Amino acid sequence: MHKTLIGLTLITSLLVATAHAADNNMRSGLWQITTTSDLLRLVPHLPPDQMQSIKDLASEYGLEMPQIDNGAAISQTCITQEMADKNTLPNFYNAELGCTSKNATRNGNNYKVDFVCASADLKGNGTAEGTISTPEAFTGQTNFIGEAQGNTVNERADINGKWLNASCGAVKPL
């Protein structure tokens, strides 16, 4: 269960990162995304085999496992100019988790997107919402209520993003 939930937490943080690219006032380039949650505070207590399973899950999505410290996952993502110019949100959730995004809205500097998960391991609903404070910074949160591997889940994650550089270097776009 922890593998699925921590994977969901990390993946929703990246959804929020790409959601911010939906308006053309976001800067393209390298972004640092910091996600904090109570669930991420459990990471230091996970057995090595469960931690490896989480790393494998991230790898399946083409992601490197972020640095996790004191309940925060710190990762970097590349927002291309094309992504920054799009007026629609990308559908980041993939069929493996059984989640899809819908009802993406943007009102000024505020955004919101709903997601639904309907797989054998993960069932429920969530939202990702936040505020773009400048073209180089945003804050947001995700909420998920449902079941993960038959266990009741009510998880919230807080997300902060900051632009680092116009060049993404070796970091690949989502």
0.85 exceeded by pTM: no
User: Which pLDDT value is given to residue 82?
Assistant: 83
Those residues of the chain that have pLDDT short of 70 are 1-25, 58, 60-64, 86-97, 174
pLDDT on residue 165 = 95
Q: What is the pLDDT of residue 163?
A: 94
Res 89: pLDDT? 43
pLDDT, residue 113, reads 86
Query: What separation in angstroms does the CA of 19 have from each of 62, 71, 117?
Result: 18, 23, 18
Q: Which of 123, 100, 1, 7 is nearest to 60 (CA)?
A: 7
Check residue 164 and give its pLDDT.
Answer: 96
pLDDT value of residue 96: 54
How much is the pLDDT for 145? 93
Residue linked to tokens 């669930």: 39
Task: Report the pLDDT value the prediction gives residue 43, as an integer from 0 to 100.
Answer: 81
